[in-house]
Amino acid sequence: MSLIVDCDPALGLPMSDVDDALALWALRALGIEIDAITSVFGNSSLPRVHAVATDLGARWSIPVFRGAARPGDIDTPAVERLLAHRGDVLAIGPQTNIAAALARGASWSRLVLLGGTNRRLLNFRPVHTTELNFALDEVAASRALSACTDLVPMEPCRELLFRREHFRVLPPWMESLCLGWLRLGPVLTGRMGVVPWDVVAALYCAGADGFSTDCRGVTLDSAPLRRGYVRYGPGTVRVLSRVDPVAFDGAWAALRDPSR
């Protein structure tokens, strides 16, 4: 697999999600070669997430390319790298880089997106956020959906939970940086743990067992207070519909840090 991961990693940043970094680590632990990381604003500002991405890239010998700082930011090194790529792309942040590359003729063998929800709850940001990636740049999300081959929406991810024991497979430096996020779990989810959104997308992209999909058409629903919501109809996009929690936990527990 020739893979670029487009992401907004925030590992170690205050009050910011850690799952982008966990997804990158999991892909490496599975033996998948990541050709490049492209950064995008999202979990935090671009300077902050790009600094995290640069640190991860240096640790793991992965080239990192600076991407969009805001919606409409299209002239970036990340876009140029995505244009030159012909393999798979896993996009686990806002879709600004992806849409910009597609607008210039990018063509990939597979485009796996993490984003979109169809819950009944409204999306009141930042007090109550039901979806982030598509909501932060809806124009880009709509463009990316038109080229998407696989979609990992929020609903099946919400059925999973990472607790303290899930972080023990990580190298110590990563584990320690995850504990602050874990302590926020009861606030974020009402449960004693955190949802491993990006890890679900990474394991799905890598072909792990326990994932069920349906073929659907997917369009963005831009109604007021429903930013990031999607509508489903007939189509050919492989949409993740269910994750077997036992298989998922087993796949995660079997991972081993490749640098050890």
pLDDT of residue 14: 86
The sign of the torsion formed by the CA atoms of 60, 259, 41, 159 equals positive
> If residue 24 lies in a helix (H) or strand (E), which one and from where to where?
helix 19-29
* Mean pLDDT, the chain, whole residue set: 92
72: left (phi over 0), alpha (psi -120 to 50) or beta: left
Q: Tell me the pTM.
A: 0.95
Point out the residues of the chain with pLDDT beneath 70: 120-129, 188-189, 260
Task: Give the tens place of pLDDT for each residue, 25-61.
Answer: 999 999 999 999 999 999 999 999 999 999 999 999 9
| 227: amino acid identity, one letter | R
Q: Which two tokens stand for residue 91?
A: 């996009």
Q: Which CATH superfamily is domain 3-253 in?
A: Ribonucleoside hydrolase-like (3.90.245.10)
